[in-house]
Structures are given as C-alpha cells and as structure tokens.
Amino acid sequence: MVTKDFDVVIVGAGAIGCSTALELAPDHDVLVLEKGLLTNSASANASAFISDWWLFLGRKHVPGATDMLHEFFSDFDGTGEFEYHDHPYIELVAEEKTASQPDQEVEALKESIEDIDGISFNTATELEDRWPGALDLTSYEGGFVDDRAGVIDPVHYLRAMKEQAEEMGVEFRMQTEVTELVSDGNSVVGVETEHADEPIYADDVVVAAGVHTDDLVSEFADLPMGTFVIYGATLQSNTVSAEAVPTVSNDQLMVGPDVRGNFTTGIEYWVDGPESIPPNLPQEGLLSAAEHIPDLLNDFGDVLFLEDQTYKCPEGITVTPDQLPVIEELTDGLVVADGSRGAVALSPVIAAAITATITGGETPFSLDHFSMDRFDSDVSEVDIPFVEEAPQSF
C-alpha cells in the first residue's frame, strides 16, 4: 500500500489535460505534468475552429454533447484574455454522393440533427440565399451548417484554463516528462518522471499525452489510432474578407478565419509516428491546398501566404477510425483520452467524460460513444478524409 501524493495525476497539458484539470479541480487534488511548455502542444498550434462538426465527422451524433460544448464556450471566461468568436461553419455535401453508401450516412445524419439547436442541413439554394455569391456551390447538393460554431485563440484558451485551474488549487509542473506508469498488481498507482528519484503516487492517472499516449499505456492496450501531421498555413485573399464568408469544408479541404481575421488552411499527411516527421515543410503541399480554395470560395483572387505563419505540428496528431476520442479506464487507476480529430473543440466534452469515468458521475451523453469496444480489436489501418499519403519528397 502506497501513500498517495495527489488524487489525480494528469499527463499532458494540451487541451484535454488542461480542461480535465479544470473540471476535476473543485473536488480533487490534481497535478498536471507536461514535458514541454504550454505553447508546444498540437492544441496550442491548432486552427481552433470550435464546431459540432468535430463530432459529426465520422457521421456520429452524440446526443447531449453538442449543447455541453456550446454552453462551455459561450460561458467560459477564464481570466479575461479568452474570447469566443462566433463564426458559422459549413460542411458541404457533394452531389455525386447521393447514390452511394456515404450518402446514406448523410441522410441518417440529416435525420439525427433535426432536434439539435444551431445545426441544420441547407440546400445549395438556401446557402446561396444566405451567403450570396460567396461559395462555389456548383457540385454540391447543400451543406450542414453549424450556426453556433466559432473560432478561438488556442494559446489563450490553454492559458486561461491553466490559470483558472491553478486558482482552484491544481498544480502544473512544466518541462517534466513522465517516463513510465507505476503499477501495483493490476492497478496503476502513479508515475515516474524524468528528474525525480521517487514516483508520484495518485488514486488515478489520466494519460492525455497526445501522440505519446499509446507508448505510455502500451502495457495495457493497443490503442486503435493512426498518426498524422498537419502542415498549416495562414493566408490572406486580396479580394475576400475572412469575416464575410463562413468557415467551409468539403472532403478535401477546410478553410476559414482565424481570430485575427486571416484565413487558415492546411494539408495533412499520415506518418508512422512522431519520430518520422521530417524537419522540412513540403511547400508544394500547401500550394496545392491553396489551389483548391477557389473550389469552395468564389473570387478568392491571389492567395497570399503569411510566410512566418506556416506551421508543422512537431509531433503529430492521433486519430481513431471514427475520429471520436477513446476515453476509457484501461485498468484500475488508469484513464486514457486520445484520438480525437478535434480535441480542442471537444475538450469540454472529453473532460466531462474523463471526470465521469473517474468519479462514476453522470454525463448528458453516453460514454459508450467513446469506449474502445466500438472498434474491432484488430484495427490496424485508419482511413479518414483529408489525410493523404506522404509525398516521396517527405
């Protein structure tokens, strides 16, 4: 029997780690261990579009989760620095899908969103009426519109959550890498860190370490995830104002405003893992992404890249086959949360799910949506929209 140092130790101060710390803070003694700085994570460098779309990507509707997400972002104040910028989001649905399997999923999704506030399916004519001349709708039957969507500054978000959690007693130790989990029989009872001689003991360990989650928990599970990297870019149009058009995606590209009124877009490539991400940015990938923007937005004119604002996620992002996270107690004392395509947007929902997993409390949605059991045990390949094979020059 060991004496615990904390109720909960959280590994990783990305969007999931910080939001979970904040959620647990009122009733738990929490320590967050982060191997880098708050600004290094995938979360800190995300475009940070906040939308239900991140739930619907895998054509899954999680009743109860959408309201929670929007309530959180409209109420969250943090320390005053954080701001939620309303900006509608559209996922365009191509005409040619009508006779095929994905279209049945689209039809099912249309039905399942009927009772959700703020989400609707608009025909191409309705979209044209709302945003006259803005979108190239020639090959689309319409699109899912999220009128409650928005965009945030991810660093402000992380900082605001960290500071608020600290005010509530949470301790953050930055530049402190967790090297392994400490077990006692079948239970995880703490973590070893890079510099300390002694383990840190806790009732529960939450591993929210992004691409490193799988390594840390490999003794207990083989997580059904692929890893990809985003090369992102900030750009301007000499004709279109980012405020005037919605954030928009088709199955190839997503483009929308950032909090500073520029556009942001990117290209995504599969990688084997963090160690296989090359140091150089394939500019041609970004250029080809930019070439597709006129397929979505009319009269975009010349695309001007802000050279100092291109971004390559240093270690990558993990994703499950349905793009929703796995949130699971893998063994007594060990909870894992990983694999969401949009974990910045979903962080309030993920934090609530982790907290309920630890405390046995209630959530307004079923935790089954995030259980690992929803996948076959032999998931070896993940195939999702947007992410491409890495080019030869990689």
Residues making contact with ligand FAD (CB under 6 A): 11-17, 33-36, 40-43, 45-49, 54, 177-178, 208-210, 212, 216, 230, 232, 266, 311, 313, 317, 338, 340, 342-345
Which is nearer to ligand FAD, 331 or 340 (by Cβ)?
Answer: 340
Amino acid at 380: S
State how beta strands 200-207 and 6-11 pair: parallel
Which is nearer to ligand FAD, 137 or 156 (by Cβ)?
Answer: 156
Q: Nearest distance from residue 20's CB to ligand FAD, in Å?
A: 9
Q: What is the C-alpha to C-alpha distance for residues 7 and 220, in angstroms, rounded to an integer?
A: 21
In the chain, what's the furthest Cα-to-Cα distance? 68
Which is nearer to ligand FAD, 42 or 324 (by Cβ)?
Answer: 42
Which is nearer to ligand FAD, 134 or 346 (by Cβ)?
Answer: 346
Q: What is the C-alpha to C-alpha distance for residues 277 and 299, in angstroms, rounded to an integer?
A: 35
The residue with its CB nearest to ligand FAD is 14
Buried/exposed 118-134: b ≥16 CB within 10 Å, e otherwise: bbbbbebeebeeebeeb
The label of the residue with tokens 């309530």 reads: 71
Of 21, 25, 358, 29, which is closest to residue 200 (Cα–Cα)? 29
Of 366, 355, 363, which is closest to residue 19 (Cα–Cα)? 355
Which is nearer to ligand FAD, 124 or 208 (by Cβ)?
Answer: 208
Which is nearer to ligand FAD, 12 or 190 (by Cβ)?
Answer: 12
Residue 253 in tokens: 């590209």
Which is nearer to ligand FAD, 59 or 97 (by Cβ)?
Answer: 59
Q: Nearest distance from residue 289's CB to ligand FAD, in Å?
A: 12
Q: Nearest distance from residue 312's CB to ligand FAD, in Å?
A: 8
Q: Nearest distance from residue 138's CB to ligand FAD, in Å?
A: 26
Which is nearer to ligand FAD, 165 or 216 (by Cβ)?
Answer: 216
Q: Nearest distance from residue 125's CB to ligand FAD, in Å?
A: 28
Q: Nearest distance from residue 149's CB to ligand FAD, in Å?
A: 10
Q: What is the C-alpha to C-alpha distance for residues 296 and 289, in angstroms, rounded to an integer?
A: 11
The label of the residue with tokens 């079923």 reads: 366
Residue 326's alpha-carbon distances to 61, 220, 224, 321, in angstroms, are 16, 14, 8, 10
Angle at 230 between CA 229 and CA 235, to 5 degrees: 165
The label of the residue with tokens 């974990």 reads: 343
Q: Tell me, rounded to whole angstroms, the distance of Cα 83 from its chain centroid.
A: 18
Q: What is the C-alpha to C-alpha distance for residues 305 and 323, in angstroms, rounded to an integer?
A: 29
Q: Nearest distance from residue 26's CB to ligand FAD, in Å?
A: 21
What's the Rg (C-alpha) of the chain?
Answer: 21
The label of the residue with tokens 């710390």 reads: 21
Q: Nearest distance from residue 345's CB to ligand FAD, in Å?
A: 4
CB of 25 within 8 A of CB of 354? Answer: no
Which is nearer to ligand FAD, 143 or 325 (by Cβ)?
Answer: 325
Helix, strand, coil shares, percent, the chain, to 5: 30, 30, 40
Which is nearer to ligand FAD, 124 or 382 (by Cβ)?
Answer: 382
CB of 14 within 8 A of CB of 42? Answer: yes
Q: Nearest distance from residue 230's CB to ligand FAD, in Å?
A: 4
Q: Nearest distance from residue 141's CB to ligand FAD, in Å?
A: 25
